Structure 1
Amino acid sequence: MAGRRRAVSGAGRIVALGALLVGLSGCGGDAAPPDSRTDAVQRVLDRRAAAVLEKDAAAYRATGGADPYLLLDMAAVPLDSWTYKLTRLDGSGSRVSASAELRYRVDGYDEAPVVAERTLTLKREDGRWRVVDDEPAEKSGQQLWEQGKVTAVKGAHSLVLGVGQQRSVLASYAELSDDAVPAVTDAWGTGWARKVVVLVPKSLEGMGGLLGSPASAYQGIAAVTTGEAGGSGSAPADRVIINPEAYGVLGAFGKQVVLTHETAHVATRAVTSPATPLWLSEGYADWTGYRGTGRTAGQAAPELQRAVQEGTPPATLPEDADFGFSGDSSKLAQAYESGWLACRMIAERWGEARLNAFFRAVGEHKQRTGAVDSALQNVLGIDEKEFVARWRTYVRDQLAD
């Protein structure tokens, strides 16, 4: 993340969590018993899901008038599954509000479903329930096709989905993603899907809509990665979301670094947990992005170099809060650069295999307290105090000139 980018869990990461299933409820006053009404609404949602999956516009319209052009807008998206699970039913009489969990997978790319919370309004006429409104639940993000017609470009290792974007632009992003996947695999290993789905909305506002947050929160951020930290086989699928305004002005090198960075988050998400500090998760992603590029420390860490040359180098590794976008781009850049140099130091002095082992060891802890210190001692043979001291010396040595 950052004045440059941003990625997965905790402060500064975006986490798409599956909704907590709540008991089904229904109020009296309807002609049908509550249980019968719940079953009837679920059947409507089942028919609606089947119509989406089969791309049957007539069957979709038969379930209700909400979003009549949805199937046209998402026609290019290769779906493998699409289901609704009713989690709550409120209201009485002929009009009810339903909360549902939408789960879907993109064919060939998602090993686990995307999970999205939806709020639907249904109306009962002539003994039939019909959907009259279907939108993201509060604080939930939109789906890309809710912003317009989707264009899809498939790469060797990637699928790029865009709205309001030229196909040639999306094709160039697919090429960059196809380069990012093997680069990340070379650094991290083969124990991940080795595929990436990239979403490109029309604007910064569209990015905010996908993330369910104000667009201002992502001003100047080139890309983010969504997904559940510490995920298992049932974890929501990852998505790399591009800010077309910030990403579009980057040069070819910057675009590649950003996409490789975000792809590293996709690869490491399953072993990234609440115990993982952002200096490590973001630093590792940056280390992967710059790995093999030949960039010197001064070229990749200009803000931190300025601080060193001015005699104000950081005394400690950055806290998670330092990765929040607060308008101080210099402080934010220093946080990323500090994490990158910490990971770079480990890779240089202990080897890349030890860096990967350290990352995994930190994530295996069930809580943040003591996670880094324990992993350092078990994997690198030093404690956290000594590690920070070595990092401070390394920063000065690398950036003094």
Structure 2
Amino acid sequence: MVEQVRRRAGRRRAAGAVLAALLCAAGCSAPADEAPGPTTRDIRATLDRRAAAVLRHDEAAYAAVVDPDATALRGAQRRELARLAAVPLASWTYGLTHVTAHGSDRATADVRLGYRLKGYDSAPVTVDRIIELERDPADGRWYLTADRPADGSVRQLWEQGDVEVVRGAHSLVLGVGRPREELEAVAGTADAAVPEVTAAWPERWAGRVVVLVPDSVADMGELLGSPASNYRGIAAVTTGETGNSGKAPADRVIVNPEAYALLGDFGQRVVLTHETTHVATRGRTSPATPTWLSEGFADWAAYRDGERTAEEIAPELAEAVRSGGGPAVLPEDEDFAFAGDPDLLARAYEGGWLACELIADHWGEEELFAFYRAVGGHQGRDGAVEDALHEVLGTTPQDFTARWRLYLRSRLG
């Protein structure tokens, strides 16, 4: 038995030596002010070896940091790495945020996984995980015995199955369980959307988009951490942090394959242009930006070519206006809730689009861009729209709302 332990430790040391050169590229770090003790330092070394193995797509090294007795976990780890094989990773890191020791040979680590896609992400996607480890007294190293998402964390696409990758001219499409020709069609539509967004948004942006296509709306819900029922009628959504941080966040457009498939070519183009607009404008969108403005501007960019009439674009609102029940105020944020009344949701989107149409028509496109930037650059939600209306458009909320209501009647009545 002792000899078996020694051979196991020798194999583990060999695997670690192969990966040593990669640790700088794939390393993880604890907070700068933490004084690492032996346990923290050694656990970090285990996570470093694991991160390096991911970047090398080295199955043996990836499994080598797992306790040999955790056979189910070893199998799951091999499957996970195989699913990542086609994903173009630029970086994969583990940030060790907290360690709870259970005696001298067992510990639980709170870990923040961060990864970037090569050529697309300038900042990482991050997800919190809980990792349990045991120390082998024969070699002093720590080995994984469990790895699970932290409470509130969402699943990643590769956890749902083998990832198929399609590279477009301006897009990277990652899918699970969908036919390759479907993913290629999504890439073609995304490629067409990118130049449309560039033409509609005056500021420089990355000019590329990452699209995830899960196998079902249920899987879409898992990627977003919400019930599938919230997205049954939603063709796509965009993730990503808001705010002008000086670097582009890692946005993902996530497609609902069931709803998206029901759309024709025009509808699919509108959806992906709308979502790509969110990617382009992310740095100018902040908590101060009301949803009617961010969603309205994205629709304004998507419908900017004028192929459809206002009544075709805003049928729900047109019906309300014709029946004398048009809205009295601009849509509130809660009107855009996916889980709410679908008719109210449609009218909210349509109302936001027509508000941006009004600004572009009456004040001009440059003023629409300036208004968007001014609202997003405000220090908080309070006063953001009011100040931007005054400073950019020379009007008041009351006057703008009255103009918007008249505009609805002129375009839809």
TM-score, normalisation: structure 2: 0.87
Asked whether 1:80 is paired with 2:86, we answer no
Deviates more, 1:274-283 or 1:139-148: 139-148
Amino acid at match of 2:258: E
Question: For 1:226-284, what per-residue CA distance to the aligned partner results, in whole angstroms no more than 9, with x for missing partners?
Answer: 10010424564110011111112111111110100000000001110111000000000
Give the whole-Å Cα distance in 2 for the aligned partners of 1:57 and 1:179: 38
- Assess if the C-alpha contact under 8 Å between 1:158 and 1:177 holds in 2: yes
Instruction: Determine the structure 2 residue equivalent to 1:30.
Output: none
Q: 1:106 to 1:353 in 2, by over 3 A?
A: same
- Assess if the C-alpha contact under 8 Å between 1:24 and 1:89 holds in 2: no
Secondary structure at the counterpart of residue 85 of structure 2: coil
Amino acid at match of 1:283: G
Q: CA deviation at 1:312?
A: 0.5
**1:317-332 alignment, distance < 5 Å:** 317-332=330-345
Question: For 1:315-345, what per-residue CA distance to the aligned partner results, in whole angstroms no more than 9, with x for missing partners?
Answer: 0001101111234111110000000000011
Q: CA deviation at 1:95?
A: 2.9
Instruction: Determine the structure 2 residue equivalent to 1:122.
Output: 133
- Assess if the C-alpha contact under 8 Å between 2:331 and 2:348 holds in 1: yes
Question: For 1:116-169, what per-residue CA distance to the aligned partner results, in whole angstroms no more than 9, with x for missing partners?
Answer: 212212222343211222232211111111111100000010000000011100
**1:2-401 alignment, distance < 5 Å:** 35-64=37-66, 65=74, 67-93=77-103, 94-126=105-137, 127-234=140-247, 236-400=249-413
Give the whole-Å Cα distance in 2 for the aligned partners of 1:120 and 1:88: 11
Rg comparison, structure with higher value: 2
Question: Which protein, 1 or 2, shows the higher relative CO under an 8 Å CA cutoff with sep ≥ 6?
Answer: 1
Instruction: Determine the structure 2 residue equivalent to 1:13.
Output: none
Q: 1:253 to 1:246 in 2, by over 3 A?
A: same
Question: For 1:183-209, what per-residue CA distance to the aligned partner results, in whole angstroms no more than 9, with x for missing partners?
Answer: 000000241111100011111111111
| Percent identity of equivalent pairs | 58
Give the whole-Å Cα distance in 2 for the aligned partners of 1:246 and 1:291: 23
- Assess if the C-alpha contact under 8 Å between 1:119 and 1:134 holds in 2: yes
Question: For 1:84-112, what per-residue CA distance to the aligned partner results, in whole angstroms no more than 9, with x for missing partners?
Answer: 11001124133322111111111111111
Number of residues of Structure 1 aligned to a counterpart in Structure 2: 373
Q: CA deviation at 1:21?
A: 6.8
TM-score, normalisation: structure 1: 0.90
Give the whole-Å Cα distance in 2 for the aligned partners of 1:21 and 1:231: 24
Provide the aligned C-alpha RMSD in A: 1.8
Secondary structure at the counterpart of residue 37 of structure 2: helix
Amino acid at match of 1:44: T
Q: Hey, which of these two has a bigger chunk of helix by percent? A: 2
Deviates more, 1:87-96 or 1:312-321: 87-96
- Assess if the C-alpha contact under 8 Å between 1:111 and 1:233 holds in 2: no
Question: For 1:35-93, what per-residue CA distance to the aligned partner results, in whole angstroms no more than 9, with x for missing partners?
Answer: 11111111111110010011111111111125221221011111111111100112413
Give the whole-Å Cα distance in 2 for the aligned partners of 1:212 and 1:122: 27
Structure 1 gaps, min length 5: 1-19, 26-33
Q: 1:125 to 1:99 in 2, by over 3 A?
A: same
Secondary structure at the counterpart of residue 93 of structure 2: strand
- Assess if the C-alpha contact under 8 Å between 1:203 and 1:244 holds in 2: yes
Question: For 1:359-393, what per-residue CA distance to the aligned partner results, in whole angstroms no more than 9, with x for missing partners?
Answer: 00000101111111111111111111111110000
Structure 2 gaps, min length 5: 1-29, 67-73
Amino acid at match of 1:71: L
